[in-house]
Structure 1
Amino acid sequence: MRKTLLKKGFTTFFGLIMASTSLNFLNAQNNWQGDISSDFYDVNNWSDNTIDFANAGSQTLVIGAGNPNNPVQIGGSNSIGARPDYLNTISGANATFNGTLYPWNSDMLNGTITLNTPALLSIRNVIYIGKADEGIVNITGGSLYSRYQTIIGYNTGGNGTINVSGGTLYVGNYLEIGTSPGGTNPSGTLNISGGVVDVTTAVNIGSNGNIVISSIGALIVTGDHKITLENYILNGKISALNGENLVVNFDGSRTTVSIAQDPNRMIEEFASYIILKNGVLEAKIEKSTSNIQSLKVNGVETLATYNASNNSRIGTYYDFTGSYGFDKISGTVFSIKEETEDYIDVSFKRTYSDGNFLAPCDADIHYVLKKDDTGIYTYSILTHKAEYPAFDLGSWRQVVWIGNDGTDYLAEKIYVTEQKSWEMPSVYDFSQASATAIPEIVKLNTGIRAGKYDGKYEYCENLIDIPAYGHASDKNSIGSWAVFGSHEFFNAGPTNHDLNAAAGIIHIDMNTVHYNCRGFSIPQGEEWSKIYGPYLIYTSQESTAAANWEDAKSRAAQDKGEWPFSWLTNTPEYPLANGRGNITGNFSITDSEKPDLDGSNAWIGVTQLTAASDGHWQFEDKNYQYWVKTDASGNFDIKHVRPGTYTLFAFKNGAVNEYRMENVTVNAGGTTNLGNINWNIPRNNGKLLWEIGIPNRTAAEYKFGDFDYCEGFVENKFETTFPNPIEYNIEDNNWATVLPYVHTKYIKSDGSRDTWNWNINFSVTGTIPTTGNAKLTVAFASVDHAQFWLYLNGNNIYLSYPTVPSGGNAWIRQSNRSKYGIQTFDIPYSSLVQGENTLTFLMPSNQSNSHIMYDYISFEGNNITVQNSLLSTEEFDSKNGIKLYPNPTNGKVNIKLPKSTDDIIIELYTINGGLISRQIYQNNQNSLELDISNKPMGVYFIKILSETPTTLKIVKKQ
């Protein structure tokens, strides 16, 4: 049975400490011998080697002088046991704690005890240091925790000393120093030099007690104890080691005693945290975690600093995920990397040690504050040393929780793209929301978005396309942003989309794990290091939310122009501009079936491929990637590439697959001119007879693929929107409205799931060859746990899993794409018939997330003719009486409008929400023509701002 010496309800200084002065012998006593090793958990080092440390609740562990080894405790945790009833150290003890131990009680801590990072020695009762003897506790890192009182010096002959040079001494009730009534004049000393002493109730210093503060040490007491502590200073009971001035400050909740610091520096350093400040911005950063606990700009707190649900501070944090699990950064050591009049760069480094951290990797977190800036830069360097165990990285991210008052957010609007920008539900609205079958999605019941779903994946976009995202406010005239000058350190290339901003949060996912990103592994014996960042956690203070977003995007453009930053010096992982090189050239495309296809507006980039990538940039997570868009003439300049040998890739909307060039060498300070690069797209299978969709690596051009997909549970609309089976006629060319963006089971309103055939109907005329094959090409935007069964005229011709990248949960994670893949199928001419033919697509898999998203489908062949109209003649009629036709279009779009008394504004946007053009038309016009002939093929949005604002999708084919 667990024995408790004290009860919480006691409030007198000494009513809680009437414990026996002798050792507790009611339990089985086990004495440290140390004749085998220093391993605390080696049972052969104890007098009773039958001890079970996973079930040690009835044990009294007594540590004295070892023979010949003194104990060193590493590892252990509250969750696996190793929790004795009593831990006592006696004269001659010399014990070191580097891990976690939770004894229920302690009679005494005598001898010498040392706590190093990341130790947590948590005694769930009173702690007596120097009880009727000498006791010394050295806290260099980690924490010593007492649930109730900590008594330094107790009973006659008691002489206790605690030296806090790092880490924390946490006292759950009273801190008593040389005050014990249990004997005559016990003495106690508390030296605080590089750590913090955190006391919940009060500090009482007796006649033979004293506190000495030096360097950055701090004494913090909950409540207003300013007068009491100032009197202790006047009486010499609290003093500074070198005679510096001590400052006593009450911040409204806690009282701190520390040494006054230089007000002209951009940093103030305290025992457990630092403050970076420049007169505009003030950031409080916890030393042991690198977490920003408070971020104020012109006095306004921009972070959510407290989570009432679990009594925790949130602010910001970094974390890993891998096969080892979830590893939130802790155990960091603070230092100043560089300090000038214009900026300061500070480091919080966690060095891996076996048994103390999960991920076998060093993490060096930096923050950089520049003079007069309203943002703080951050970057991180991950390092795997050869001697470390094998390491794998899934996610590496930083999370920023934006400010709120418990009811409303400081910034009530979200801004990711033009399309995904709106007023968010309030904190209260989320508290009233209903859970759904998908944990990340809730159904909103109150507020401005009542009746809609909200989930963090709803906002996912290609990260390279959103250099600034976050939240802004019309009410409070403020914006909170993540701002990027470069994306070279992100994984998986320019189509990698993932979490960014969401309800009350900003994610910076630098190595992402969603949508079928694989992560990477580093074996033992391999040295690896990578820098992530710098990027900016930025606060804007413009008058409106929209103006704040424009300011954030302007800052991103400024940072892009300054990349690589000249101030980030002495960092081998981050060469400056003269240590990098450029790659230039001109890119063109030749396609005999699509003569209008050229090299303009194409993605072109380089990376160094590892084995885990399977030779493809989509899965390259370990190394840097450098991507740019070509200009209108196909010219490109990939700037600031680290020296090395790379593989170059290029792709463009409208072209299936991609171009590849090996062995592109970059030298520091040089330019590699590749000259004219032509991608000649082979047409070895004959003419292009028909096609469905646009090769753009997404399912955006199909029904619900432009926006509805992101709002959650779009499958609830399938039964009322689509028939089963689907009959798609090639000659109608209306795939934008007839075909869904995702091929799943056919989900009915009663929850049942039926097989869903998609019939692709086309008419063949003329003589059909008796030998040879036509070619069906299917470009997949996403495949997850799904088979693809293909039939021609009722006969199976392919029945298997697609041989393309599978996984990523894109459907459930509210996206219209995951990883891209292509598969071709030989269609025997002998299987075709004169007249109507039907290709049937079937997705037979039954898992809840099983799906296929088609990017593009084409049919090629020789010596046959297929009836096929290039453009739809069917008008698109919106619910507001606005018609667009033809859709898809080769260039010109007719817009029929209802009569209006107001002028009409028509805006054209890219699929990513970028504004292309804005035109104002007179109110007497109800038939307009919009010419997008000079725009690349793809999906666009037309926003019509009139009495009934409407957004419609238009598909540009060539």
Structure 2
Amino acid sequence: MKIQITYTKSLSFIAVLIFFSLSQSSHTQTNWTGAVDTNFYNVNNWSNTAIDFSNIQSETLVIGAGSPNNPIQSGGNANNVNYRPGSLNILTGANATFNGVLLPWNSNSFNGTITLNAPADLNIRNFVYLGKTANGTLNLNGGAIHSKNQFYIGYGAGGNGVANVLGGTLYAGSYLEIGTSPSGSNPIGTLTIDGGTVEVSSGVNIGTNGSIHIAGLGALLINGNHTTTINNHISNGKITSPANTTLVANFDGSRTTVAISQDPNRLIKEYASYIILDNGILEARIDKATSNVESLKVNGVETLQQNGGSRSGTYYDFTGSYGFDKISGTVFSIKEETEDYIDVSFKRTYSDGNYLAPCDADIHYVLKKDDTGLYTYSILHHKPEYPDFDLGSWRQVIWIGDNGTDYLTEKIYVNDVKNWQMPSVYDNQNASATGIQEIIKLNTGVRAGKYDGKYEYSESLLELPVWGHASDINNIGSWAVFGSHEFFPAGPTSHDLNAAAGIIHVLLTNVHYNSKGFNIPQGEDWSKIYGPYLIYTSEKATGDANWEDAKTRAAQERAEWPYTWLTNTPEYPQADGRGNIIGNFSITDSEKPELDGGNAWIGVTELSAESNGDWQFESKNFQYWVKTDAYGNFDIKHVRPGTYTLFAIKNGAINEYRMENVVVTAAGTTNLGSVNWTIPRNNGKLVWEIGVPDRTASEYKFGDFDYCEGFVQDKFASTFPNPIEYNVADKNWTTVLPYVHSTYFNSDGSFQSWNWNLNFDLTGSIPATGNAKLTVAFASADHAQFWVYVNGTRITPLPFYPPVGGGNAFLRQSNHAKYGLTVLDIPYNILRTGNNIINLQMPSTSSPVVNHVMYDYISLEGNLTTTLSTNNLDKNALGIKIFPNPASESINVKIENKNFNNLTLSVYDLLGKQMIKTTPVKSISNTYTIDIKNKLVSGMYIIKIDTEKGNYMSKIMVE
């Protein structure tokens, strides 16, 4: 019996055939002779020895039996249409082998014997006729063969087509026709799938003399739901498998998979070119050759982009001096399999000429029973015999699913500030380009009129246990969740891409904001594990509920770190193979007695040569950082054995604390006891300050949020004058000083240098000899000189640059890059009693959105007095009491021994941000109350009392 096909598209089919025949007639025919050797591209092997393979669109290449050589095609060019023959015909008696790329526009027949080996790509941009009115055999061992339209196996009277798909993939761009023909001539068609895959866009038709045999790991994949038709073919014996096996047709919501049934109790199903990890809740399809997750479904819902292009699924890639190297050529294996989880490996082993980055990459995915998350980790290994290896970026990219108009998850969540509804796919497609490639201007949707760009969401990664997207509509969230950040580079201030429109980035090493990467020379054996971390899917009613669920899962992952299930991996010691570092951190600063060791960052790392002793540039080795508690106690857990350098930084203090030779042993605890950072004050007293030392420019105008939204410079002309006149005594840097010292952007689009004048008064006598000290802490600098004049006298040499430069923080929508510190001498003899002016200049104007400096903090120290000098109130003499401590709903301030006419009470956080300010009514009992209920979160704060006679500051804990 023949399964008859009714062609509703017969007229268009005939039209295509007419076009095909007409186009054939305009081509020049050149025949294979094989007179010299097997080289397909040797012109002496063809009847027309003047053939130019760089321009063969008008050629019909005909391959018959060679005399004496059969053709072997290798190499080729997929990017230039001129390299595509107008037609490729293979005749009876031919024996042609393809190992490279060839993209013919047409083909009249594929007869004889055709063999494809990896990495072949034989891509016919029309129909394929295998065994057309003759015998034709295809042996697909690797690589791929494509048809844009129908792929016929057996065609026309006497046609006999045999396709053996033993590896690689056969792609049918439209229908796969096996033993069928519009003429009803009943050709023979046989397809055997054993170790490869066949992918079909529209459907499969099997004629009277047609058959499909699926053996081993092979699979037939058809877009859409064809289970009924396929099951009929299986029942009728048209699709078969070896004895004692069972074929199953399964529709996963997007395509039908036909393959031999596998053990339903395992978490894995393996096919020729891909695997499926499936625990009944989560299903991940992973490509064997690339390690790419092509599909990730949770309870049947696809969470990844499925457009088939470069913005689809997930992938890992390298960048370095060698360029961009996307992972390919991986070999699949199962590392460990139990009833509760499976760990699978996709390893790419470096070989010269095949891959760019001279480094092995072993990429793993781990699925647990009953989980909605897929763990992943990677191990990079540079063997001593490999060439020099430099690593800029090692990352994973996860593309979020959409329906062509809207994203599956329409809201972004990076932290508690950067979370909002995102532009839709439609909004992004209809946005306007800007002068900055990474930034678009939105014209439609909820964010119409705003800018959007991937750098807008950059944040310090160690502060983010989770980031991703969630939905109020689809009730789902897609997240990257981290149990540890030990494998991330550059310490607690390192910030980079995370989530953005339609994407989740996981930058395991950084290339932005002046990150440097590292080098491994030939001869060095180096390896490092990145992860594991979790690609997690949540299912809650709202986006915010999914966000809370993801943060809860992140806390669970942190509690379980290091994971007990990741065994037999030397790069990842278990808990008993690691040690802890404990102690108490404190700060002594004679000019800032309020500073203590609470809420400080403290951590250890091994410093490689590339870091130049600076943890900000350490990417090669692991870093372990924690925050101290309110009293300065710290416990750095799960540190690999080794000898480390310990660092500490604290908001409110410039520079950093450093301790060498901290030794960690497996299963041991290194008790450092009391660790005190005594900040030297050798330059005289602290005369005045500008800003808050926190390694960012967040406290200045536009530095707390506007900086991230794009083209903030358009606001400068209407907000700031040129030059800026800043009176140090006013302490109003939050409104007068911009977060970036760039060029000045005029309202007409022009730009010019932008001078800043810092005005301050000195009182009393000034020493005749010696120097005051101007400290400038930079949050960022890029392609910018920095000039300083004091009362008209230049105190910086020419040229002079900030100590750490690069990173494009201004263009990349950030308020910091890498931190640098400069201390400049100001000779006392150029200072004067009364008004003084420090003029700051950034004269570089060649690239306005690149040239800049960002100030973290500026201070003047010296044997000087000023109207700004602090007049501290005597706590004991005045009987100042602040209670209760800790406080929960209110804070009481009592001054027993003095009444003040003007009294202001303020509450600051430890970053120097004013949280509450009140001017209370004069009290008979001299007791004033500050209401803090629902205004402050738990933590340490500073209470400041300002009066006409001076001020007083004290710490208080809020619970």
1:924 is aligned to: none
Structure 1 residue 143 displacement after superposition = 1.4
1:950 is aligned to: none
CA contact (8 A) 2:26 2:58 kept: no
* Counterparts of 1:32 and 1:382, CA distance in 2: 46
Mean alpha-carbon deviation: is it higher for 706-715 or for 149-158?
149-158
Cα gap change, 1:137 to 1:609, in 2 (>3 Å): farther
Cα gap change, 1:371 to 1:78, in 2 (>3 Å): same
Q: Which amino acid aligns with 1:237?
A: K
* Counterparts of 2:493 and 2:97, CA distance in 1: 51
* Counterparts of 1:649 and 1:443, CA distance in 2: 42
Structure 1 residue 842 displacement after superposition = 0.9
1:437 is aligned to: 435
CA contact (8 A) 1:768 1:832 kept: yes
CA contact (8 A) 1:106 1:126 kept: yes
State the number of aligned residues.
894
Structure 1 residue 854 displacement after superposition = 0.2
CA contact (8 A) 2:311 2:399 kept: no
1:367-419 Cα distance to aligned partner (Å, 9 max, x none): 21112112221222233344545443322222333344444444443322222
SS at match of 1:661: strand
| 2:879 pairs with 1:895 | no
* Counterparts of 1:174 and 1:682, CA distance in 2: 79
2:577 is aligned to: 579
- Find 1:652's aligned residue among 650, 653, 669: 650
CA contact (8 A) 1:317 1:329 kept: yes
Q: Which amino acid aligns with 2:13?
A: T
SS at match of 1:679: strand
* Counterparts of 2:842 and 2:615, CA distance in 1: 28
* Counterparts of 1:42 and 1:897, CA distance in 2: 94
Cα gap change, 1:584 to 1:455, in 2 (>3 Å): same
Structure 1 residue 465 displacement after superposition = 0.5
Structure 1 residue 789 displacement after superposition = 1.4
Structure 1 residue 23 displacement after superposition = 15
Q: Structure 2: which 5+ runs fail to align?
A: 1-8, 874-903, 922-930, 942-951
2:371 is aligned to: 373
SS at match of 2:955: coil
1:295 is aligned to: 296
Cα gap change, 1:699 to 1:223, in 2 (>3 Å): closer
Q: Which amino acid aligns with 1:629?
A: K
SS at match of 1:457: helix
| Equivalences for residues 155-166 of structure 1 within 5 A | 160-166=161-167
1:907 is aligned to: 935
CA contact (8 A) 2:32 2:45 kept: no
Cα gap change, 1:433 to 1:177, in 2 (>3 Å): closer
| Equivalences for residues 181-192 of structure 1 within 5 A | 188-192=189-193
Mean alpha-carbon deviation: is it higher for 842-851 or for 593-602?
593-602
* Counterparts of 2:175 and 2:214, CA distance in 1: 19
1:824-877 Cα distance to aligned partner (Å, 9 max, x none): 212122222232211100111111221110001122223x3333245999xxxx
Q: Which amino acid aligns with 1:269?
A: E
Structure 1 residue 935 displacement after superposition = 6.8
2:199 is aligned to: 198
| Equivalences for residues 937-952 of structure 1 within 5 A | none
2:241 is aligned to: 240
Mean alpha-carbon deviation: is it higher for 689-698 or for 247-256?
247-256
Mean alpha-carbon deviation: is it higher for 468-477 or for 758-767?
468-477
1:730 is aligned to: 728
Mean alpha-carbon deviation: is it higher for 67-76 or for 396-405?
67-76
Structure 1 residue 738 displacement after superposition = 1.9
Q: Structure 1: which 5+ runs fail to align?
A: 1-6, 874-882, 910-914, 919-930, 941-958
Q: Which amino acid aligns with 2:805?
A: S
Structure 1 residue 493 displacement after superposition = 1.4
Structure 1 residue 47 displacement after superposition = 9.3
Structure 1 residue 742 displacement after superposition = 0.8
| Equivalences for residues 378-389 of structure 1 within 5 A | 378-389=376-387
1:11 is aligned to: 13
SS at match of 1:78: coil
| RMSD of aligned Cα (Å) | 4.1
| Equivalences for residues 43-192 of structure 1 within 5 A | 53-57=53-57, 60=61, 62=63, 71=72, 73-74=74-75, 76-79=77-80, 82-85=83-86, 97-106=98-107, 113-129=114-130, 136-152=137-153, 160-178=161-179, 188-192=189-193
Structure 1 residue 792 displacement after superposition = 1.2
1:947 is aligned to: none
CA contact (8 A) 2:250 2:257 kept: yes
Structure 1 residue 192 displacement after superposition = 0.7
Structure 1 residue 122 displacement after superposition = 1.4
1:851 is aligned to: 852
What TM-score does the superposition give when structure 2 sets the normalisation length? 0.83
What TM-score does the superposition give when structure 1 sets the normalisation length? 0.83
* Counterparts of 1:916 and 1:904, CA distance in 2: 12
SS at match of 2:822: strand
Cα gap change, 1:694 to 1:200, in 2 (>3 Å): closer
Mean alpha-carbon deviation: is it higher for 262-271 or for 727-736?
262-271
2:838 is aligned to: 839
CA contact (8 A) 1:722 1:738 kept: yes
SS at match of 1:623: coil
1:295-350 Cα distance to aligned partner (Å, 9 max, x none): 3333444344448xx7x872333333333444443444433322211112223334
1:78-131 Cα distance to aligned partner (Å, 9 max, x none): 348654445566789776655433233456656665544443221334445467
* Counterparts of 1:382 and 1:305, CA distance in 2: 28
| 2:955 pairs with 1:934 | yes
CA contact (8 A) 2:31 2:62 kept: yes
* Counterparts of 2:15 and 2:204, CA distance in 1: 10
| Equivalences for residues 250-649 of structure 1 within 5 A | 254-306=255-307, 314-649=312-647
* Counterparts of 1:126 and 1:892, CA distance in 2: 71
Cα gap change, 1:932 to 1:530, in 2 (>3 Å): farther
CA contact (8 A) 1:412 1:471 kept: yes
* Counterparts of 1:537 and 1:793, CA distance in 2: 58
Mean alpha-carbon deviation: is it higher for 334-343 or for 222-231?
222-231
CA contact (8 A) 2:940 2:955 kept: no
Q: Which amino acid aligns with 1:894?
A: K
* Counterparts of 2:933 and 2:167, CA distance in 1: 63
Cα gap change, 1:819 to 1:444, in 2 (>3 Å): same
1:671 is aligned to: 669
CA contact (8 A) 1:74 1:97 kept: no
SS at match of 1:716: helix
* Counterparts of 1:858 and 1:574, CA distance in 2: 45
* Counterparts of 1:405 and 1:897, CA distance in 2: 58
SS at match of 2:234: helix
CA contact (8 A) 1:368 1:378 kept: yes
1:484-511 Cα distance to aligned partner (Å, 9 max, x none): 1011111221111112222333222222
SS at match of 1:546: helix
Structure 1 residue 234 displacement after superposition = 3.8
Structure 1 residue 190 displacement after superposition = 2.0
Structure 1 residue 466 displacement after superposition = 1.1
SS at match of 1:438: coil
* Counterparts of 1:442 and 1:290, CA distance in 2: 32
Structure 1 residue 207 displacement after superposition = 5.7
Q: Which amino acid aligns with 2:814?
A: S
| 2:861 pairs with 1:866 | no
1:952 is aligned to: none
Cα gap change, 1:492 to 1:383, in 2 (>3 Å): same
* Counterparts of 2:872 and 2:431, CA distance in 1: 43
CA contact (8 A) 2:786 2:802 kept: no
SS at match of 1:710: helix
Structure 1 residue 28 displacement after superposition = 4.2
Structure 1 residue 421 displacement after superposition = 2.6
Structure 1 residue 567 displacement after superposition = 0.8
Identity across matched positions, percent = 65
* Counterparts of 1:33 and 1:624, CA distance in 2: 61
Structure 1 residue 782 displacement after superposition = 0.5
Structure 1 residue 745 displacement after superposition = 1.7
1:926 is aligned to: none
1:1-54 Cα distance to aligned partner (Å, 9 max, x none): xxxxxx99653899799999x99994444655775xx88768899898887654
Cα gap change, 1:58 to 1:612, in 2 (>3 Å): farther
1:887-923 Cα distance to aligned partner (Å, 9 max, x none): 897999423799xxxx9964336xxxxx7599xxxxx
SS at match of 1:770: coil
Cα gap change, 1:154 to 1:451, in 2 (>3 Å): closer
